[in-house]
Amino acid sequence: MLSLDRVRRKIAEAERREAEKERGERDRPPAPDWLIEMGLGRRAPVYVHAGGCHMAGKRSRGVTDDQARRALWEQVPACPHCNPDGVLGVLD
């Protein structure tokens, strides 16, 4: 009987963890459409990325369409992998 109670507690704990994980995924805010990646140790922007770009670094922050376009106009390089300049219509 003692081991059955322990198994039931473990199952309830696993179900609780799974419910928390599902709730966290459901309530997660949507990914931003555009990112600006900041340089290491300095606050100057390094790249403009599309929101889901796999090359965006951890120092990236979400920005609006207008902020991404402004950064590109101000000579912040566009990521060569996701090419946000083409999507935003800001080509050299």
User: DSSP readout, 5-74?
Assistant: HHHHHHHHHHHHHHHHHHHHHHHSPPPPSEEEEEPSSS-SEEEEEETT-TT--TTEEEE-HHHHHHHHHT
Task: State residue 92's pLDDT score.
Answer: 60
Same domain, 67 and 53: yes
Token representation of residue 53 = 């770009």
* Residues 66-75: contacts with CB under 8 Å, at least 24 apart: 67/34, 67/36, 68/33, 68/34, 68/36, 71/36, 71/45, 72/48
pLDDT tens per residue across all 92 residues of the chain: 669 889 999 999 999 999 999 999 889 888 899 999 998 877 789 999 999 899 998 999 999 999 999 999 999 999 999 999 998 988 76
User: How many domains does one find in the chain?
Assistant: 2
Q: Do 45 and 65 belong to one domain?
A: yes
- Do 4 and 47 lie in one domain? The reply is no
| Residues 55 and 24 grouped into a single domain | no
pTM score, two decimals? Answer: 0.69
**Same-domain pairing of 55 and 82:** yes
In this structure, the answer to whether residues 40 and 82 fall within a common structural domain is: yes
In the block, residue with structure tokens 């600006």: 36
Domain that holds residue 43: 34-88
Task: Specify the 3-state DSSP secondary structure of 3.
Answer: helix
* 76 and 42 part of one domain: yes
Q: Are residues 16 and 47 in the same domain?
A: no
**Residue 18: CA count within 13 A, CB half-sphere:** 6
